[in-house]
Amino acid sequence: MSLVNPAGPRGRRPRRIGSPTSIMIYGILIVAAVYYLIPLYVMVMTSLKGMPEIRLGNIFSPPVEVTFQPWATAWNSACTGLYCEGIKVGFFNSMKILVPSVIFSIIIASVNGYALSNWRFKGSELFFTALIFGAFIPYQVMLYPLVIITRELGIFGTLTGVIVIHTIFGMPILTLLFRNYFVSLPPELFKAARVDGAGFWRIFLQIMLPMSLPIFVVAVILQVTGIWNDFLFGVIFAGTKNFPMTVQLNNIVNSTQGVKEYNVNMAATILTGAVPLLVYFFSGKYFVRGIAAGAVKG
């Protein structure tokens, strides 16, 4: 099934705006949309107020006096309980985790998906099925043995460690994505290249890759949002000084010492959500395709 139907809505007859039914439909949709937008609105409003105004006012009222100080504080000097260098530390850590994880996981999964679609071998389908089912095992079940393995390899608590973990757990969904895409390409292309004597890697690099830009975009979006939003792997495998932004954010907001600065907290929260949100707003249908693949992995 495809989530993005180019034909758009079909089925029932078009409705005239203004009929009772359409008023009800739009009414419900707008109420739902408001519910979905409130948290974003509250976040932004709170982050633009000073603390005195927060204590006096209510969370829904727009700021009387707009200040960007909380944003600066959140970025530069908010305290995580360990140090007071702001959320920017987490931002750069997340970037350092994100870029290699996305690159490695996509390279490995695309080649693997290609092998599984065009070069099947005995047992390849079995392993693929096992891979997909493995995606359903709760991470908690595999955490401790992975800690032991990464520790033995000397990569526990390092960037390399967390990158390897992201590559491993990105594999099921990405492989599925690429395999299904390559299977959908016309087999004649592959056969013709074989007849011309091209081998495994040449067909991949010269024929498959140039045709698969869209699926790579979907994969990048999927991985960028997924890895950026990760908390569990970051907190366990990255090590204290490489904590990603989500972990830093949680430490800043839920740290128990000091006076709670809600405006700074909300600014830090928006900053942490900004990367996936921007990806989401600019990628549109590719994002939807990604989550569809992520969801319909059965």
Partner 1 sequence: MAATRPFAPLRNLNAKIAAVPMIATVLVVFIGCTLWTVVYSFTSSRSLPTLDFVGIDQYRRLFTTSRWIVSLRNLAIFGILALSFSLVLGFILAALMDQKIRFENTFRTVFLYPHALSFIVTGLVWQWILTPAYGVQKVVRDLGFETFNFPILTDGRFTIYAIVIASLWQGTGLVMALMLAGLRNIDDEIWKAARVDGIPTWRTYLFIIIPMMRPVFATTLVIIAATIVKVYDLVVAMTNGGPGIASEVPAKYVYDFMFSRGNLGQGLAASTIMLTTVLIILVPWALYEYRPRNRTLGVGK
Is 129 among the residues that bind partner 1 (CB under 8 A)?
yes
Is 121 among the residues that bind partner 1 (CB under 8 A)?
yes
Is 52 among the residues that bind partner 1 (CB under 8 A)?
no
CB nearer to partner 1: pick between 80 and 118: 118
Q: Which residue in 20, 136, 195, 257 binds partner 1 (CB under 8 A)?
A: 136
Q: Which residue in 131, 207, 217, 220 binds partner 1 (CB under 8 A)?
A: 131
Site string for partner 1, 214-233 (x = CB under 8 A): -----------x--xxxxx-
Is 115 among the residues that bind partner 1 (CB under 8 A)?
yes
| Alpha carbon distance 245, 89 (integer Å) | 8
Is 9 among the residues that bind partner 1 (CB under 8 A)?
yes
Interface region with partner 1, contact rule CB under 8 A, candidates 62-70, 81-89, 205-213, 242-250: 242-250
**DSSP per-residue letters across the chain:** --S--TT-S-SSPPPPTTSHHHHHHHHHHHHHHHHHHHHHHHHHHHHTS-HHHHHHS-TTSPPSS---HHHHHHHHT---SS--S-THHHHHHHHHHHHHHHHHHHHHHHHHHHHHHHS--TTHHHHHHHHHHHTTS-HHHHHHHHHHHHHHTT-TTSHHHHHHHHHHHHHHHHHHHHHHHHHHS-HHHHHHHHHTT--HHHHIIIIIHHH-HHHHHHHHHHHHHHHHT--HHHHHHS-GGG--HHHHHHHHHH--SS---HHHHHHHHHHHHHHHHHHHHHHTHHHHHHHHHHH---
Is 297 among the residues that bind partner 1 (CB under 8 A)?
yes
> Nearest distance from residue 39's CB to partner 1, in Å?
4
Interface region with partner 1, contact rule CB under 8 A, candidates 31-39, 70-78, 153-161, 206-214: 31-39
> Nearest distance from residue 105's CB to partner 1, in Å?
10
> Nearest distance from residue 109's CB to partner 1, in Å?
8
Site for partner 1 in 166-205 (CB under 8 A): 167-168, 171, 175-176, 180-181, 183-184, 187, 190, 199-201
Is 237 among the residues that bind partner 1 (CB under 8 A)?
no
> Nearest distance from residue 40's CB to partner 1, in Å?
8
| Alpha carbon distance 168, 54 (integer Å) | 44
Q: Which residue in 116, 208, 264, 267 binds partner 1 (CB under 8 A)?
A: 116
